Amino acid sequence: MNKALSFIWFACVLLLLPWAAAAQNPEHGNIPDDVYYLMPSFGEGTVYFRGQPPAQGQLNICALDNTLRFIGPDGKELAAANPENISRVQIDTVVFFYNREVFYRQYPVSWDMGVALRRNVRIMTDAKPAAYGGTSMTSSVREYSTVYTDGTSYKIEGRTDYPYDVQERVYIYKGDSVYPITKKNLKKLCPEKKEEIEAWFKAGNDVPDTVEEAKALLARWAESL
């Protein structure tokens, strides 16, 4: 095991063993890997911590519980606890930053501003039939192995037939902060472009809901990279 991987092992596992043990061999049923994780597969990556040197290893991020996952020395998947010590994670060429218990995928537009993509995956243990073949959802997820519904926890290990819901939403980031894309926030973040922003919304334009649309909009008013 190289020194970098040894560092992430000691920094993220030995000091925080209960969380690491809980994430071994996760059961995510019928949720595809490229939905369950923020990257299609584990890849070489770097974790940047606050107040200590970065570390490297085989990394991914779980979209279900927003935990950093990595492969330990024995080949098992582990989850790093205390993610508030993490500032950002780079896997291959993709960068994620951590803000208020959520990992966001970063799409830079200017030197300190860009589009942040959040993915939310929920397992629906009590989904009920809805109109037009859909389902209604009343549960939320806190850990990969436990679903909380109305304050009660239910183990989902061993089950593969639960439906799941995936939502992705775009935001603006500036520095380490994240903002919904609204007229008010655009004016706040691009104060020199207030009149242009006001005119754009008065023309009947809607807030973008895709990464490419949000990047194109922000590029109109943000400083160049």
**What are the tens digits of pLDDT across the range 161-173?**
667 888 899 999 9
> In angstroms, rounded to a whole number, what is the distance separating the alpha carbons of residues 55 and 46?
6
pLDDT at 5 over 60: no
Predicted model pTM: 0.76
> In angstroms, rounded to a whole number, what is the distance separating the alpha carbons of residues 208 and 107?
15
> In angstroms, rounded to a whole number, what is the distance separating the alpha carbons of residues 209 and 194?
21
Domain ranges of the chain: 3-118, 121-166
Q: What pLDDT sits at residue 126?
A: 60
What b-and-e string marks burial along 168-194, b requiring 16 or more CB atoms within 10 Å of the CB? eebbbbbeeebbebeeeebbebbeebe
Which residue is it, tokens 């089950």?
Answer: 159
Q: Mapping DSSP to helix (H, G, I), strand (E, B) and coil, where does residue 192 land? A: helix
> In angstroms, rounded to a whole number, what is the distance separating the alpha carbons of residues 197 and 215?
15
- Where does the pLDDT of residue 14 fall: very low under 50, low under 70, confident under 90, or very high at 90 and above? very low
> In angstroms, rounded to a whole number, what is the distance separating the alpha carbons of residues 143 and 134?
25
